[in-house]
Structure 1
Amino acid sequence: MFISFFLLLVIAAAVSAYTTRKQSKTSVGHYLGSRSLNFWMVGCSLFLTNMSANQFVGENEFVYTNNMTVMCWGMSSILAMIIVSEFLMPVYLRIGAMTTPDFLGIRFDKQTQRLVSIIFLLSYAINLVPAVLYGCAVAMNGIFQLNLLLGLDYFTTIRLLVAFIGVTGCLYAVLGGLKAISINDIVQGIGMVIGGILITWIGLKFLGDGNLATGVEKLLGNNREHLNAIGQPGTAIPFGTLFTGMLLINIYYWGMEQYIVQQSLAARNLAESQKGISLAAVGKLFAPLLLNVPGLIALQLYPGMENTTQVFPKMITDTLPPVITGLIAAIVFGGALSTFNAGLNSIGTLFTMNLYKPWMERRNRFINDRDLVRKGRLVQVGITCIAIIFSPYIMFFSGGFYSYLQKAASYFSVPVFTIMLIGLVTRRVPAVAAKAGLFFFVTAYIITQLVIDTGLHYLHVLALLFVVTSLLMLLIGKWVPREQPFTIQNQAKVNLNPWKQRYIYYILLIVLMTGMFFLFSPLGIAK
């Protein structure tokens, strides 16, 4: 088990180190891989960055305790990725952006750019990085049962694992940069697809006492309500939220979240970026094999589990041979490192390019690329240390790990999405409207979640606030419009010719996405 675990990690690290040994040491080389990534690197990086240990632990726990409605997040993201590929990436690449707040700096002003950069940094420090460390630690302990092997209590074991994962990931991000992370993701991505098929195949055979058909029959014949991905009003994820807050969050996540978009910004041209995003969307179609099916199998094997965060690890260790278990552990670990590294890489980029460099320039201080990379690394190390201290305490959050992730992210995501969208679709809305919109949205959302009980699902609340904030910004634009309408100047660093066959693949992806909803519905296997 341990041999196969370390073998895959060593292979991935060796390939990554060898291929990036001559990588540029400039800020563009370190943070954007010198804008040289092909579509395989872009697609695998997007997919692996999204598929962290948080997803493995959180979504399988949700399927066990609720039903397949959690699948809606991943399936509906395919539509969001198509929208991002077609409408947002051409804009980012046209302005030569290194970060998504760069657009806000051009569209509104530098204050708005700095404000959103700070929001991103707070989000990553409070939500992303600690959650990734915690999720991976829970998964690793569950698979290897380290608390029993080491004779330690659960909390202490999680704290030690968090420290190990954090130090390992930090070294990778600080020393390797984005291109090293992306190449590592290709190796891990291949392993993840293979692992997903093996988990489903072997898990169903185990459920059927060695017979695959019997396992499938048990899975489909018992607890059928858990097979339903179409949530009713009043449930944890009502189906209607796909068309309100969930769609907004998904477009934000795939098209504006810096640690995700940075993979696409590093593409060698627009066509490779669009191909890479489509490749990641294909991966989302296979994701339920890893994120949801193990939870369904565990429901048949272990009804009534108390510590439901152990659903995925327990199912893996009980059903898979040791060699395959080690492979899956390496995949989970690699997925966590990919997300963690992408987060740290974006933290370094946002801090150095949007905060530190402008601050030094205002003081008439010259700073070279090596200084920028060095300062970014110091910030990355600092954030890692804070996350290592804080992340073990996530276990005390009531409502489940996945609920923690989604609700914490909501405070930062849709407010930024709103001002980004208004900036994209209007020409005369001024910078003061963006600042007012951010302040209003965040304040109103905090009140609806912590002070006043609206009786509405939080995703519906987000959608309503999106509409109200958009109207507020449009009204301000009507009262005090920009003197000159905004126009996008071409400052592209790469070729902007789009992928010619993209519409064929977009249609195919939407058809397959719709098919997945029909499969896991009362019209399909949940009837």
Structure 2
Amino acid sequence: MQIYELLTTLDFIVVIAYLIVLIAIGYWVSFKDKQPTEDNLFLAGNSLGWPSIGLTMWGTNVGPSMLIASASIGYTTGIVAGNFAWYAFIFIFLLTIVFAPRYLQAKVQTLPEYMGKRFGDSTQNLLAWYTIVTVLISWLSLTLFAGGILIQQILNIPLWLSVLILLMIAAFFTIAGGLKAIAYTNVFQMLLLIGVSLALVVVGWQKVGGMDVIISQTPKSYWNLFLPNDDPNYPWVAILLGYPVMGVWFWCTDQSMVQSVLGAKNLKQGQLGANFTGWLKILDVALFIIPGVLCFVLFPNLENPDHAYMTMVTQLFPAGMTGLVMAVLIAALVSTIDSALNALSTVFTMDVYVKKYKPEASQKSIIRIGRIVTVVGAVIAIFLTLAIDSIKGLNLFDVFQSVLGFIAPPMSVVFLFGVLWKKTSTKAANFTLTFGTILSIGVGILYLWVFPKADYPFWPHFLLLSFYIFIFLSILVILISLFGPRDTIPSSLVYQKISKTSSQVKWLWAALIVVMVAMYFIFNGHS
């Protein structure tokens, strides 16, 4: 039975009522909050403590797209995808010890600004364009793709129409002023989503009959984090070598992830917040992947594993409750889509249009350009989403990871060398951001569309491809920096001695490292 056939009139009433309440809250907030609050909005006036930082980083990473995709991969392969949550602790540690002290010492608001101080305006301009591309692909198109699949499951309509509906809902919220409500209720919505996933695990666990039954009815490989090197889905070498490229980019250089650390009261609070995120990531497997494993035991004959999450919701929750879950998923997706469109508009308007072409632009002109970019970005995102839908042979989770894997290498190389090696030249950084991006995304297009691995099995795993591109670009950076022209303009970053990490931060990280190593031992003993 299809998911849309299991939904009741009460479910749809709950969805509509929830969205109307959000819009009403938006109006109330708009009328109530008349004071300008933009001055310190971006970094919260450097007032964030560790709980806010940890929860914000985790919440940015944990969205509706992740719920749907993680349940899908849990259904097909078990907990091996937990590596994308648990292996992350190494790169969150890297952010804590290596990157955060330098970012905060430089007193920057954005990471392109940091690279601008390191290499000059040319690099900052290139990073602005790189950010535009990554926002379009990683935050907007992939979210629209996951959201489109959700709407498709609910209404039984084509994906292109699902995506249009999602964009129309986002536009409607923007016009009605309701997105301010989503911003104010986002924490509540994330807690609700986490609560729903926990409830799914508990109810599913009880329905299955406990751990012994789950283990007896799933392949032994479902409980291993590292699978043999001949595994077609996630061989251990591909994860070990390939994920770090994505990990450095995502956790150490992506503005959306690092922004809350930049807004820390001080270095210690930023480091404690990042550590808290590392602890929270432990929950990802239980909350988001295990529902997929439970779905495999309860409903082993699903035609499409991407339906695992909503199948669990519709089959295990009563009418009305299912509607509430759908409403929260849609509202949270709309929030992510609007945030991505807003980021796209802001970066293009301020970092490209105003900074490079029209420094004297009027406020009216800036607003007009911002609106045009939002509309153009939405149209481009629709076509990118349909392109992502045409990828063959990959489930939703693998689509996400493969697309991100081809975005990551240039940024990881530039930041690692820019931060850790003083001899890295501006020409090397700029060449990597231009040629490296064309190479990386070009290989991705060949891998995913032109010669898809489903039809051309000569390709290595996409994570290994990402690793090979990273190594190639790293060699180029070293060669260009050593044998190319030296920088004539000195970096405006003062390479002072970095602030010492407090003993409390060190002890908490030592404890987390011990726990994570233990988890890897526990979940690799099943043969």
Pick one of 389, 394, 401 that aligns with 1:395.
Answer: 389
2:510 matches 1:507: yes
Instruction: Output one character per residue of 1:115-151: Cα deviation in whole Å (capped at 9) or x when no partner.
Output: 2221221222234212212312423554xx333xxxx
Is 1:58 equivalent to 2:69 in the alignment? yes
Give the AA of the match of 1:104.
Answer: M
Amino acid at match of 1:501: Q
Q: Percent identical across equivalent pairs? A: 22
Indicate the residue corresponding to 2:7 in structure 1.
Answer: none
In the other structure, the counterpart of 2:480 is 476
- How much does 1:338 deviate? 4.8
Q: Could you give the per-residue CA deviations for residues 350-400 of structure 1, whole angstroms, max 9, x where no partner exists?
A: 22442133125xx552656x9767754553354235435653564332122
Say if 1:322 and 1:267 are closer, same or farther in 2 by CA, change over 3 A. farther
Mapping for residues 277-288 of structure 1, pairs under 5 Å:
277-288=274-285
1:380 to 371, 374, 377: 374
Deviation at 1:331, TM superposition (A): 4.6
One of 102, 115, 123 as aligned partner of 1:104: 115
Aligned counterpart, 1:233: 229
Question: Which amino acid letter does the alignment assign opposite residue 412 of structure 2?
Answer: F
Residues 1:160 and 1:430: Cα distance change in structure 2 (over 3 Å): closer
How far the C-alpha of 1:23 sits from its partner, in A, is: 6.1
Match of 2:230, SS state, is coil
TM-score normalised to structure 2 length: 0.82
CA deviations on 1:310-334 (whole Å, 9 max, x unpaired) are: 1111111101234543454355345
Quick one: structure 1 residues 509 and 183, their matched pair in 2 at CA, closer, same or farther if it must change by over 3 Å? farther
TM-score normalised by structure 1 residue count: 0.82
The answer as to whether partners of 2:27 and 2:177 remain within 8 angstroms in 1 is no
Q: Any unmatched runs of 5+ in structure 2?
A: 1-10
Determine the C-alpha separation between the residues in 1 that align with 2:34 and 2:503. 33
Question: Is the alpha carbon distance of 1:310 and 1:51 closer, same or farther for their aligned partners in structure 2, counting shifts above 3 Å?
Answer: same
Letter in 1 for 2:33: R
SS at match of 1:292: helix
Q: In the superposition, relative to structure 1, how do residues 169 and 473 fare at CA in structure 2: closer, same or farther (>3 Å)?
A: farther
How many Å apart are 1:249 and its aligned residue? 0.7
Residues 428 and 485 in structure 1, CA contact (< 8 A), matched pair in contact too:
no
Cα deviation, residue 56, structure 1: 1.6
Contact map agreement 1:94 1:489 (CA 8 A) in 2 = no
Report matched runs for 1:23-42 at 5 Å.
24-26=36-38, 28-42=39-53
Contact 1:56 1:332 in 2 (8 A): no
Q: Structure 1: which 5+ residue stretches go unaligned?
A: 148-152, 208-213
Q: Which moved more, 1:167-176 or 1:248-257?
A: 167-176
Aligned to 2:425: 430
Please give the alpha-carbon distance, in whole angstroms, between the structure 2 residues aligned to 1:34 and 1:373: 25
SS at match of 2:424: coil
Paired residue type of 2:223:
L
1:233 offset after TM fit, Å? 1.1
| Residue type at the aligned position of 2:461 | H
SS at match of 1:365: coil
Q: Which moved more, 1:478-487 or 1:113-122?
A: 478-487
Instruction: Please give the alpha-carbon distance, in whole angstroms, between the structure 1 residues aligned to 2:396 and 2:71.
Output: 11
Task: Rate the CA distance shift 1:341–1:171 in 2: closer, same or farther, 3 A.
Answer: same
2:523 to 516, 520, 525: 520
Q: Aligned in 2, Cα 1:510/1:321: closer, same or farther, shift over 3 Å?
A: farther
Letter aligned with residue 125 of structure 2: R
User: Which residue type is aligned with residue 435 of structure 1?
Assistant: N
What amino acid is aligned across from residue 93 of structure 2 in structure 1? I
* Displacement after TM superposition at 1:63 (Å): 2.1
Note if contact 2:50-2:270 (Cα within 8 Å) is conserved in structure 1. Answer: yes
Distance 2:54 2:375 in 1: 27
RMSD: 3.6
Partner-residue secondary structure (3-state), 1:287: helix
Shift of 1:471: 2.4
1:239-264, CA deviations, whole angstroms, 9 ceiling, x for partnerless residues?
A: 22343220121121011112222333
Show the 5 A alignment for 1:41-120: 41-120=52-131
| Residues 23, 178 of structure 2: 8 Å contact kept | no
